[in-house]
């Protein structure tokens, strides 16, 4: 997998940056620097192609996930992060998953597959369009969710489903609503507040 690792301060927590459809490993660096300029950065590029655009997993159409591929890619990405944690000597519990859209969705997948690993996530425009029956325990997890009003891709019902997914598993959830399917400066500032 293509990636970038940037050490800002030895021993500091690490932002794991997961871009949206068509993005790259550097897309969310300005956001990471705004959230906390001392955190180290691991930016990862999705290795699935859709019409020449980078993604983290396959889909059949907007909001129609290839669930088998998502489970496989979630595991693949997790293994890659574990490998980089060894290589760069950071702990997985010291990471903050930061995702936008497609990146948020694979972050949710990894958290569900490895419920005791990641303790913090800032997810912008997430969509996880299925009911999850397994009751993972997220009681020591802090999640920031930025959701869209009038989002053409994620309905408010689906945004609420994501909120419920975390709340039903006892995560500590902070939410903010923005207009449409985007990563607004206002949401980024609220995420910075949440992080500090």
Sequence-ordered strand ranges (E) for the chain: 3-6, 14-18, 40-44, 48-50, 53-55, 59-61, 64-65, 95-100, 120-124, 142-149, 172-179
Q: Which active-site residues does the annotation give? A: 101, 151, 181
CA distance 99 to 31: 10
Strand, coil or helix: 137: coil
Run of H or E residues at 130: none
Q: Which of 147, 148, 113, 149 is nearest to 132 (CA)?
A: 113
Strand, coil or helix: 105: helix
Strand bridging mode 48-50 / 95-100 = unpaired
Check: CB of residue 148 under 8 Å from CB of residue 159.
yes
């Amino acid at each position: 997998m293509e990636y970038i690792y940037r050490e800002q301060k030895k021993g500091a927590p690490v932002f794991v940056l997961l871009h949206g459809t068509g993005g790259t490993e550097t897309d969310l660096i300005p956001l990471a620097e705004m959230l906390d300029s001392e955190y180290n950065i691991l930016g990862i590029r999705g290795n699935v192609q859709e019409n020449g655009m980078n993604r983290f997993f396959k889909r059949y159409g907007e909001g129609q996930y290839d669930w088998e591929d998502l489970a496989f890619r979630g595991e693949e990405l997790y293994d890659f992060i574990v490998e980089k944690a060894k290589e760069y000597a950071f702990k997985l519990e010291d990471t903050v998953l930061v995702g936008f859209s497609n990146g948020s969705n694979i972050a949710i997948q990894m958290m569900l597959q490895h419920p005791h690993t990641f303790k913090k996530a800032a997810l912008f425009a997430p969509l996880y369009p299925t009911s999850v029956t397994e009751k993972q325990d997220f009681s020591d997890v802090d999640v920031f969710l930025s959701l869209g009003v009038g989002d053409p891709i994620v309905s408010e019902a689906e945004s609420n489903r994501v909120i419920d997914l975390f709340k039903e598993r006892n995560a500590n959830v902070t939410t903010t609503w923005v207009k449409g399917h985007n990563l607004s400066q206002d949401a980024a500032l609220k995420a910075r507040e949440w992080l500090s």
